[in-house]
Amino acid sequence: MNENKVVIQKKVIRNISLTAHPAGCARYVRDLIEQARSLANGSSPDKRYLTVTGLSLPKRVLVIGGSTGYGLASRVVAAFCGGADTIGVSFERLPTESKTATPGWYATHVFDQEARKTGSGSVSLYGDAFAMETKEKVAQAIKETCEGGQVDMVVYSIASPVRTDPQTGVTYQSVLKTVGEPYESLSLDIPLEKIISVTVPVATGEQVAETVKVMGGEDWMLWMEYLKEQGVLASGVKTIAYSYIGPEKTYPIYRHGSIGMAKRNLEETVPRIDGLLASLDGKAYVSVNKALVTRASFVIPVVPLYMALLYQIMQEKNLHEGCLEQAYRLFTEKLYGVDAVATDEMGRIRLDDWEMRRDVQEDVDAAWLLQKDGEKIAGGNVISCVQEYDRLHGFGYEDIDYNLPIDPREIL
Ligand code: NAD
């Protein structure tokens, strides 16, 4: 046996997966690509979506945070539905002889392979998006890779617990806490599928300010300023960042919590970026997306219980979507569709429209009332949430032999 080969098993502690499987991650990305292609050409059995025929999708796209979750889905749609050249930036742990990389590292390598097979330009940079050095490398890559040395679209899809301010060198940490008073709620012990009670603690004023520093709009603005200064933004450029609102029951932990303060700040950055891009006839947007299982969302207190109930209800109503379908709808119906971009009264694109439908939320409320502390979850689709989490780490595919030793550095 090759001594560099090890058996890679799923290992999850406190809703964080410590491992990722190279073959499974490759499979995950190829499935996303296949799904995107079939939606685009109308061969998908899912008939809720329009094909891309006649649409002018962007041809040169930068995705900051493009290795997993919403960012990866956006990059897949850009490249495999719109035929765009793409540049991706992500922060991933590299593999060693004995330790796996984080899933985005495998996903990104496979994405590059597949995109290049189609003739699209595909360049991926691994580094800290908050650092000046990364912004410089990306501007250079745009100049070298994209036609005319410019991009038509910039997706900002970062979810990070920490940011070092490049100007001051000070490091800030984001927290997932409430603002004002602690919040007691039911939550879900995912492995046991059991309802538990949790008390989410209050963030200090300083912690709220730090969370805004990390997950607010400051870095998005810095990116756009730098890219404009470098002349790598095309005329008519669009930039988009992702936000979340959710139902009132999760407000204390999300919308009114420390992360919600950061999202509010992100949304308030839009008019400032619009001002910056005015001379290019460019436009910034925030899209409020659906609650979905990703590496970032699975660690938010209370939200996994909400997602388990929501998944079941949306699946029953044939309204459920994953990141890929959300990104597809964003590109084909919201941002580059035949109609003008529709926004709410705050100027936000609402991709959470199906999640927030009254009948969906009434059913979630009714399901929530059935939950009892200490008992197994009543209803909900925990299996679907766990399967999604497992698959984005390359686990849970029946036809992959997880007992077979594999080199963690292998790209499959
Ligand atoms: P994710 O964890 O799947 O993706 C986060 C991405 O950010 C990864 O590509 C990661 O490599 C990258 N990243 C993190 N720190 C970085 C750094 N320092 N430098 C470069 N890249 C870095 O998370 P996600 O859920 O897809 O979140 C993406 C965005 O979507 C976030 O802004 C999140 O708030 C928002 N959003 C998520 C949901 C949801 O339910 N998952 C809903 C609405 C909005």
Q: Is 126 an annotated catalytic residue?
A: no
Q: Quick one: average pLDDT of 227-231?
A: 98
Atom of ligand 1 nearest to the CA of 259: 34
Q: What pLDDT does residue 30 have?
A: 98
238 three-state secondary structure: strand
219 is in an annotated binding site: no
Residue pair 302/187 in contact by the 8 Å Cβ criterion: yes
Q: What pLDDT does residue 55 have?
A: 95
Q: How far apart are the first and last CA of the chain?
A: 19
Neighbouring C-beta atoms of residue 278, cutoff 10 Å: 10
Q: Which amino acid is at 51?
A: T
CA-wise closest residue to 8 among 79, 128, 103: 103
The response to whether residue 289 sits with its C-beta less than 6 Å from ligand 1 reads yes
Q: Is the pLDDT of residue 3 over 90?
A: no
CATH class of 12-392: alpha beta
Q: What pLDDT does residue 2 have?
A: 54
Q: Quick one: average pLDDT of 83-104?
A: 96
Residue pair 287/349 in contact by the 8 Å Cβ criterion: yes
Q: Is the pLDDT of residue 4 over 90?
A: no
Question: Rounded mean pLDDT of the chain?
Answer: 96
Q: By alpha-carbon position, which residue is closest to atom 14 of ligand 1?
A: 160
Q: Is the pLDDT of residue 1 over 50?
A: no
Q: Quick one: average pLDDT of 254-277?
A: 98
Query: How far away, in angstroms, is 22 Cα from ligand 1 center?
Result: 21
Mutation to probe ligand 1, out of 25, 28, 90 (largest number of atoms < 8 A from CB): 90
Q: Quick one: average pLDDT of 263-269?
A: 98
**pLDDT digits 0-9 by tens, 179-205:** 999 999 999 999 899 999 999 999 999
**pLDDT digits 0-9 by tens, 332-391:** 999 999 998 999 999 999 999 999 999 999 999 999 999 999 999 999 999 999 999 999
The response to whether residue 101 sits with its C-beta less than 6 Å from ligand 1 reads no
Q: By alpha-carbon position, which residue is closest to atom 28 of ligand 1?
A: 157
Sequence-separated (6 or more) residues with CB below 8 Å from residue 228: 276, 277, 280
CA-wise closest residue to 86 among 96, 95, 75: 75
The response to whether residue 304 sits with its C-beta less than 6 Å from ligand 1 reads no
**pLDDT digits 0-9 by tens, 110-129:** 999 999 999 999 999 999 99
263 is in an annotated binding site: yes
The response to whether residue 89 sits with its C-beta less than 6 Å from ligand 1 reads yes
Residue pair 90/124 in contact by the 8 Å Cβ criterion: yes
Q: Of 12-16, 50-54, 264-268, where does the model show the most confidence? A: 264-268
Residue pair 337/52 in contact by the 8 Å Cβ criterion: no
Atom of ligand 1 nearest to the CA of 72: 9
Sequence-separated (6 or more) residues with CB below 8 Å from residue 43: 37
Query: How far away, in angstroms, is 314 Cα from ligand 1 center?
Result: 23
d(CA 310, CA 246): 11
Q: Quick one: average pLDDT of 223-236?
A: 98
Q: What pLDDT does residue 104 have?
A: 98
Q: Quick one: average pLDDT of 3-7?
A: 87
The model's pTM: 0.97
Q: Quick one: average pLDDT of 13-25?
A: 93
Q: Is the pLDDT of residue 39 over 80?
A: yes
Question: Which of 106, 183, 242, 254 is the catalytic position?
Answer: 254
DSSP string, 118-157: TT--EEEEES-TTSHHHHHHHHHHHHHHSGGG-EEEEEE-
- Residue whose pair of structure tokens reads 């919403």 in the numeric block: 70
69 is in an annotated binding site: yes
CA atoms within a 13 Å half-sphere pointing along the CA-CB vector of 190: 27
The response to whether residue 69 sits with its C-beta less than 6 Å from ligand 1 reads yes
Q: What pLDDT does residue 383 have?
A: 96
The response to whether residue 242 sits with its C-beta less than 6 Å from ligand 1 reads yes
